[in-house]
Amino acid sequence: MQSSPPPETVSDSPARARSFWQSLGFAIDGVLHTFRSQRNARIHAVIAGLAVICGIALRISQAEWAVIVCLIALVIGLEVLNTAIEALVDLASPTFHPLAKIAKDAAAGAILLLALGSVAAGLIIFLPRLWQLIF
């Protein structure tokens, strides 16, 4: 009687990080996959770049930078999480199911709410400085 190999050597088992660096590589792969496959992630990245350019040009404070950086990280991070949720839902429910739709719509809604909040914070930070430049 032949014994089965340990789970980590079975070819169809998920890859597990054996080191910090391998774990970091898997995380980077997830972020890169999101930017390659999700148009909205690329849109968020462009808007983040514009916010950084505005922050530099308008010389925002350290506290304002902290807010901008945290919001950029949250929006991009939630976009990556949304990509993971969509992949899991597609795997679990390859055909249409109302609960699958709810899961995908709710994840997308979370990004929408965070993006709208980020725009509001950006307006609070940038508008007064822009107003001073114009008037």
The answer as to whether 92 is a domain residue is: yes
Dist CA 78 CA 83 (whole Å) = 9
Residue 39, helix vs strand vs coil: helix
The answer as to whether 113 is a domain residue is: yes
Residue 97, helix vs strand vs coil: coil
Whether the per-residue pLDDT at 9 is higher than 60: the answer is: no
Whether the per-residue pLDDT at 10 is higher than 50: the answer is: no
Number of H helices, E strands in the chain: 4, 0
The dihedral through the CA atoms of 66, 68, 70, 73 has a sign that is negative
Residue type, 51: A
User: Looking at the annotation, which residues are catalytic?
Assistant: 79
Query: Mean of the per-residue pLDDT values for the chain?
Result: 92
The model's pLDDT over 100-122, given as tens digits with 9 standing for 90+, comes to 999 999 999 999 999 999 999 99
The answer as to whether 1 is a domain residue is: no
Domain range for residue 71? 33-134
Lowest model confidence (mean pLDDT) among 2-6, 79-83, 98-102, 131-135: 2-6
Whether the per-residue pLDDT at 11 is higher than 70: the answer is: no
Whether the per-residue pLDDT at 132 is higher than 60: the answer is: yes
CATH number at residue 83: 1.10.287.3610
The model's pLDDT over 57-96, given as tens digits with 9 standing for 90+, comes to 999 999 999 999 999 999 999 999 999 999 999 999 999 9
Domain count, the chain: 1
The answer as to whether 67 is a domain residue is: yes
